[in-house]
Chain A
Amino acid sequence: MAGKIKSLLALGAVVLTTAALAWAGADAPAQANGAPKPVITKAVKGEQCVEDTDFMRRNHMKLLNHQRDKTVIEGVRTKKHSLKECIECHASEKTGSVAAAKDDFCVSCHSYAAVKIDCFECHSTKPQGPMSMHPLNAETAHYKHKLAARTTSEASAEEMAGVAQ
Chain B
Amino acid sequence: MSELNSMSNQAPESPERRRFVGAATAAAGLAIAPGVMLYQVAHGRPDDQPASSAVRWGMLVDSTKCATGCNDCVSACSTENGWTPVAESEHPRQAPQWIRKLELEDPLTQRETNLPMMCQHCAEPPCVDVCPTGASFKRADGIVLVNRHTCIGCRYCMMACPYKARSLVHEPLNDTQKPDVPRGMGCVEACTFCVQKVDRGDGNTACAEACTAAGHNALLFGDMNDPESEISRRLRELPTKQVRADLNLNLGVRYHGI
Residue in chain B with minimal CB distance to A65: B149
A73 interface contact, C-beta 8 A: yes
Interface residues on chain A, size class: 20 to 34
Q: What 1/0 flags go to A65-95 for Cβ under 8 Å of B?
A: 0001110111111110000100100000000
A100 contacts B179, CB within 8 Å? no
Residue in chain A with minimal CB distance to B198: A75
A68 contacts B51, CB within 8 Å? no
B175 contacts A120, CB within 8 Å? yes
B177 interface contact, C-beta 8 A: yes
B50 contacts A74, CB within 8 Å? yes
Determine the chain A residues whose CB is within 8 A of the CB of B183 once the complex forms: 122
Q: A121-B185, A122-B148 are in contact. Are A75 and B139 (CB under 8 A)?
A: yes
Q: What 1/0 flags go to B112-147 for Cβ under 8 Å of A?
A: 000000000000000000000000010111000101
A75 contacts B149, CB within 8 Å? no
A124 interface contact, C-beta 8 A: yes
A77 contacts B177, CB within 8 Å? no
Determine the chain A residues whose CB is within 8 A of the CB of B145 once the complex forms: 72
B180 interface contact, C-beta 8 A: yes
Q: A75-B51, A78-B48, A124-B182 are in contact. Are A97 and B139 (CB under 8 A)?
A: no
Q: A74-B140, A87-B179, A127-B179 are in contact. Are A122 and B187 (CB under 8 A)?
A: yes
Determine the chain A residues whose CB is within 8 A of the CB of B184 once the complex forms: 121-122
Q: A74-B51, A75-B50 are in contact. Are A122 and B177 (CB under 8 A)?
A: yes
A125 contacts B175, CB within 8 Å? yes
Considering the chains assembled together, what is the distance between the CA atoms of A77 and B182 in angstroms?
Answer: 14
Determine the chain B residues whose CB is within 8 A of the CB of A122 once the complex forms: 148, 173, 177, 182-184, 187
Determine the chain B residues whose CB is within 8 A of the CB of A127 once the complex forms: 179
Which of A68, A79, A87 is in CB contact (< 8 Å) with B47? A79
Residue in chain A with minimal CB distance to B200: A77
A128 interface contact, C-beta 8 A: yes
Considering the chains assembled together, what is the distance between the CA atoms of A84 and B184 in angstroms?
Answer: 16
Which of A73, A76, A84, A120 is in CB contact (< 8 Å) with B147? A73
B2 interface contact, C-beta 8 A: no
B80 interface contact, C-beta 8 A: no
4 new A-B pairs (CB below 8 Å) besides A75-B50, A78-B47, A122-B148?
Answer: A72-B148, A73-B147, A100-B175, A122-B187
B→A interface (CB under 8 Å)? 45, 47-51, 137, 139-141, 145, 147-149, 173, 175, 177-180, 182-185, 187, 195, 199
A→B interface (CB under 8 Å)? 68-70, 72-79, 84, 87, 97, 100, 120-128
